């Protein structure tokens, strides 16, 4: 899979801007806190966008309190573009924006298998997922007050591979993730599913000219998650409410606005709350009503 922008992942890692050198205020006036922590030996750089009243000691850490706002945790694509753009900054539909930068040297969630030609193999997926889980449970509550029953997630390209292949199967149940949007990428679970994730609201968003390998991987992911719900005893009507997918935008990889990668991801993110609620429209198509029908073997 290609990196999200012109720079290679290695060049991007070498040219990372200094922590905290970006905007300190989000587009809606929220405060942006950027920092880095080490978890299990991995450098986990993060951004949090929240009203000043919700930050714990100004975002510097300390005791936590229960909050009323939820969070939308963004997993960028290969190369990290969406982390730097921070498309989910601010508070949208009652969710504060959180973005994490992959600890991988090439800025790929799940790492790299040098023998893999598809970009779908992510050998470090379990390790990265465990670090994210620890960040969300142990670190983030010391930065910002949030409602831990509202931990939503969004993936972009390689970030969607991480989410669907590793993060959700392993920690979706224990974190109580209510919903996730997988943009331009997805995998069937690559690890044993822990707990019950059959009731998770999940939407797959793609385009007509998606990358060839993803044109196979995304339907396989949909089939796998549908089977999880079927095996849990959910009816077809229930599954159709919980699991939706759309590939109608006429564009390339992540070009949901039919124009460009960055603006396409922004469009998807702007509509995150509406997608989760089943009321989103992208380019005139009600995305939550368009279902891929995949036979489950």
Residue 137: CB atoms within 10 Å: 14
Confidence of residue 1 (pLDDT cuts 50, 70, 90): low
- pLDDT of residue 281 exceeding 70, the answer is yes
pLDDT band at residue 295 under the 50/70/90 scheme: very low
State yes or no: pLDDT of 293 exceeds 80. no
Q: What CA–CA distance (Å, rounded) separates 154 from 17?
A: 23
C-beta separation of 65 from 144 below 8 A: no
String of DSSP letters for 189-224:
-SS---S--TT-EEEEE--TT--HHHHHHHHHHHHH
pTM listed for this prediction: 0.92
Quick one: pLDDT band at residue 6, thresholds 50, 70, 90? very low
Determine the CATH number of domain 9-289.
Answer: 3.40.50.1820
**What pLDDT is attached to residue 58?**
58
Residues 96, 29: contact at Cβ < 8 Å?
no
- What lies within 8 Å, CB to CB, of 255 at 6+ separation is 207, 209, 249, 261, 264
Specify the range with the lowest mean pLDDT, choosing from 66-80, 218-232, 281-295.
281-295
pLDDT averaged over the chain?
A: 90
* The two structure tokens encoding residue 110: 């799940």
DSSP state of 141: G
Q: Please report the pLDDT score of residue 46 as a whole number.
A: 98
End-to-end CA distance of the chain: 28
Predicted confidence band of residue 17 (pLDDT cuts 50, 70, 90): confident
Question: Does residue 55 have a pLDDT over 50?
Answer: yes
Residue 214 contacts residue 207 (beta carbons within 8 Å): no
DSSP character string of 245-285: EE--S-SSTT-TTSS-HHHHHHHHHHTHHHHHTT--EETTE
Calculate what percentage of the chain has a pLDDT beyond 90.
80
Residue 207 has pLDDT above 50, yes or no: yes
> Tokens 């970009």 appear where?
119
Least confident span in 28-37, 113-122, 169-178, 286-295? 286-295
The per-residue pLDDT for 152 is 98
| Residue 133 to residue 125: CA distance in whole angstroms | 12
16 band by pLDDT with thresholds 50, 70 and 90:
confident
DSSP structural state of residue 144: B
How high is the pLDDT of residue 12? Answer: 61
Q: At what angle do helices 168-175 and 125-134 cross, to 10 degrees?
A: 20
Does position 61 have pLDDT exceeding 70, yes or no? no
- Residue 105 reports pLDDT greater than 50: yes
| CB 252, CB 207: distance < 8 Å | yes
> Quick one: which of 113, 214, 117, 222 has its CA closest to 156?
214
| Both structure tokens of 159 | 């970030």
Summarize pLDDT for 124-135 with one digit per residue, the tens: 999 999 999 999
The answer for residues whose C-beta is within 8 angstroms of residue 252's C-beta and 6 or more apart is 207, 209, 210, 261
Q: What's the confidence (pLDDT) of residue 23?
A: 86
Among 45-59, 207-221, 259-273, the range scoring the smallest mean pLDDT is 45-59
């Amino acid at each position: 899979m290609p990196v999200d922008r012109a720079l290679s992942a290695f060049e991007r890692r070498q040219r990372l801007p200094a922590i905290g050198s970006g905007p300190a205020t989000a587009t809606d006036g929220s405060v942006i806190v950027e920092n880095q922590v080490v978890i299990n030996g991995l450098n986990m750089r993060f951004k949090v966008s929240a009203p000043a009243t919700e930050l714990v000691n100004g975002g510097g850490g300390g005791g936590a309190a229960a909050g009323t706002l939820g969070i939308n945790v963004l997993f960028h694509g290969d190369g990290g573009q969406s982390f730097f753009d921070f498309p989910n900054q601010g508070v949208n539909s009652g969710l504060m924006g959180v973005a994490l930068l992959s600890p991988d040297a090439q800025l790929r969630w799940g790492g790299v298998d040098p023998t893999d030609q598809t970009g779908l193999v992510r050998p470090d997926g379990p390790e990265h997922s465990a670090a994210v889980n620890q960040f969300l449970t142990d670190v983030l509550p010391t930065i910002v007050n949030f409602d831990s029953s509202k931990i939503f997630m969004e993936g972009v390209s390689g970030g969607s591979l991480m989410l669907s292949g590793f993060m959700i199967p392993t920690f979706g149940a224990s974190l109580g993730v209510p919903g996730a949007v997988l943009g331009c990428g997805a995998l069937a679970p690559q690890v044993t599913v822990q707990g019950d994730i059959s009731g998770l609201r999940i939407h797959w968003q793609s385009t007509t000219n998606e990358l060839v390998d993803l044109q196979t991987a995304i339907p396989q992911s949909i089939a796998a998650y549908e089977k999880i719900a079927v095996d849990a005893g959910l009816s077809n009507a229930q599954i159709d409410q919980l699991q939706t997918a759309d590939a109608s935008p006429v564009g390339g990889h992540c070009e949901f606005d039919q124009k460009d990668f960055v603006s396409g991801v922004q469009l998807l993110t702007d509509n995150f709350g509406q997608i989760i609620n089943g009321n989103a429209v992208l380019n005139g198509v009600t995305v939550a009503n368009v279902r891929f029908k995949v036979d489950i073997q």
